[in-house]
Amino acid sequence: MTGLEPFGARLRRVMDERGPLCVGIDPHASLLAEWGLGDTVDGLERFSRTVVEAVADRVAVLKPQSAFFERFGSRGVAVLETTVREAREAGALVVMDAKRGDIGSTMAAYAEAFLHQDAPLFSDALTVSPYLGYGSLSPAVALARESGAGLFVLALTSNPEGGEVQHAVRADGRTVGATVLGHLALENAGEEPLGSFGAVVGATLGDLSSYDLDMGGPILAPGIGAQGATPADLPAVFGRAVRNVVPNVSRGVLRHGPDAVALRDVSERFADEIRAALTSA
């Protein structure tokens, strides 16, 4: 398998060209209804295709949430395959939001499903969970390196329940979240202009100055828009690491559908606001 240019380098370039915005593709039942679509495979397909056609040629990253496709079974997964392929053909990088985490051959199989270049669901990066121990991700790390893909590892998530694990203090005095970030810094050591192994860190978490977020890789930052964070909040939350932040907006963009022009306009507005916030940092 001949790998692509490393994900980090490709991400840095498309962020510089298009602005650092990630738009989520989250076709849950309530959004399908808001768009006047049925909670069916046909509704799923129309929703996903509309988002891709509206914004995939102008935003840096699209992030389909696998669960909302998987719930329709094999036909939903077929729609996901098409969504990934068409988004990448339009020039967006695709981060598959599947949050996979397991051990041994099972983790290797998950990696092959999303990170092997010949796989129907091959994506530029995959979200993964390290909470069976960071070492359990080794098969995904190895295949990502081989294929030129990337990983976004759950580190400091925006859900309230996450703190009981991620802020827990280990015997060595470091929190679990800080330990994850430390592993990522090692993965990205020496990589320029940006490493391929990133963290998921919520934009709604406020002051994170006690954490070293500058670990050489990208930071996928959910929480902009419907969850309450704004582009102007990013410098205060992420500090010197803000240059590597990929803010994710899902409902804040998607609620403007099914009008493709409205989807394009609001995504461009978010991209402009994020670029302005990061430039002023």
Q: How confident is the model at residue 161 (pLDDT cuts 50, 70, 90)?
A: very high
pLDDT tens digit sequence for 216-236: 999 999 988 767 789 999 999
Q: Look at the block and give the residue holding tokens 């998607």.
A: 254
Q: What is the pLDDT of residue 49?
A: 98
Amino acid code (one letter) for 212:
D
Beta-carbon contacts of residue 119 (< 8 Å; ≥ 6 apart): 112, 113
DSSP string, 211-253: S---SSS-EEE--BSTTSB-GGGHHHHHGGGGGGEEEEESHHH
Supply the pLDDT for residue 122: 98
Task: Clarify whether 63 is annotated catalytic.
Answer: no
Q: Are the CB atoms for 8 and 145 separated by under 8 Å?
A: no
pTM: 0.97
pLDDT per residue as tens digits for the range 43-87: 999 999 999 999 999 999 999 999 999 999 999 999 999 999 999
Tens of pLDDT, residue by residue over 18-46, are: 999 999 999 999 999 999 999 999 999 99
The pLDDT of residue 99 is 98
> Among all chains, which residue has been given the structure tokens 């969850």?
227
Residue 1 has pLDDT above 80, yes or no: no
Give the separation between CA 217 and CA 195, rounded to whole angstroms: 4
**pLDDT tens figures, 191-222:** 999 999 999 999 999 999 999 999 999 999 99
> What is the Rg, in whole angstroms, of the alpha carbon atoms belonging to the chain?
18
Rounded-to-integer distance, Cα 99 and Cα 190, Å: 26
Tell me the pLDDT tens digit for each residue of 85-141. Answer: 999 999 999 999 999 999 999 999 999 999 999 999 999 999 999 999 999 999 999
The one catalytic residue in 99, 243, 251, 275 is 99
Burial of 88 (0-12, 13-18, 19+ CB in 10 A): middle
HSE-CB for 4 with a 13 A CA cutoff: 22
**Backbone angle region of 151, left / alpha / beta, with phi > 0 → left and psi within -120 to 50 → alpha:** beta
